[in-house]
Chains A and B, each alone.
Chain A
């Protein structure tokens, strides 16, 4: 499902003037997203199976959006839906969190978007090491930049949320600390890349470091926090996003929000990518 991000993205991204038909396609696919989520959520499947099935289906829809070149419009609709629906649609009434549970549509979804984007970055790093096209290195580094931005936003929103629900913005919660470490690892990637002047060396070393950094991030974010007692859901041995963590009414906005954040971020990243590719082409390096 993640591969869609890597193959279609930069080839088919040019926006040749505002196109109404594309908006309808985008709107149609966005409504398809919502319909699919609603269908799976209201079906009688066991709760634990819903998350992977929904994600696989939404991945297919996003793939279709890339094929039909309406993913940007879909991102626009998705983002407006996240904001409007995120605040106005009903949420479960729980003590301690009250209305801040709506932050799930922003904080958690941005983390998931970050993981998708960093996966794409690692994938392009592999492609670069395989073939040696500098284009893959440009994609890999820009997606890593985007991943860092999402990660920083995620940590800040997490700290704000923690301040209101747990009392302190930071108190050494395992997931918080692991997330910070993971982010520092990616900051180090940027510093490493900046220390080289030669394009090829920078690309090669950066790609290798990226391939170390990504599995480390996965371990830090998913494995380590479960081993300790933590205030985050999914700690102390319980699976996160399992049966008990997500209410049906929230799933309607949650999955669409992940896709919307990812696509918006990828859109902005592709702008930077295209500028860098133009620079490389202008200097005849590419």
Chain B
């Protein structure tokens, strides 16, 4: 083969690998969503958040009561 034909052969065969770099399906957590476990994550975090909020709200009420007592004293 002449020289330029060799170059072209190499270039065209490289194309095969280059084409692979395009849009493969980006693997996201669709499996997690489909079998329902993402909802477990959300539920756990919501429970944790609710617990923290219950603590904060009860502390807030306690402090309000003390403030009121100190004012009325």
Contact = CB atoms under 8 A, between A and B. Distances in A.
Interface of A: 14-18, 72, 76, 79-80, 83-84, 87-88, 93-95, 98-99, 267-268, 271, 274-275, 278, 281-282
Nearest to A16: B64
21 contacts: A14-B60, A14-B64, A15-B57, A72-B60, A76-B53, A79-B49, A79-B53, A83-B46, A84-B42, A87-B38, A93-B28, A95-B26, A98-B29, A99-B28, A267-B56, A267-B60, A271-B56, A271-B63, A274-B67, A278-B67, A282-B70
Interface of B: 26-29, 38, 41-42, 45-46, 49, 53, 56-57, 59-61, 63-64, 66-67, 70
B42 A88 contact: yes
A106 to B, nearest CB: 10
A148 B2 CA distance: 70
A23 B27 CA distance: 40
B46 A271 contact: no
Contact of B56 (A94, A95, A268): A268
Contacts, number: 55
A83 B49 contact: yes
B18 to A, nearest CB: 17
A87 B42 contact: yes
Contact of A275 (B28, B41, B57, B63): B63
A98 B28 contact: yes
B60 A15 contact: yes
A83 B67 contact: no
Closest 9 CB pairs of A and B: A93-B26, A99-B29, A14-B64, A15-B60, A83-B45, A87-B42, A274-B63, A93-B28, A99-B28
A100 to B, nearest CB: 10
A83 B56 contact: no
Contact of A87 (B41, B57, B63, B64): B41
A76 B59 CA distance: 15
A87 B39 CA distance: 9
A135 B49 CA distance: 30
Nearest to B29: A99
B56 A84 contact: no
Contacts of A275: 63
A44 B60 CA distance: 43
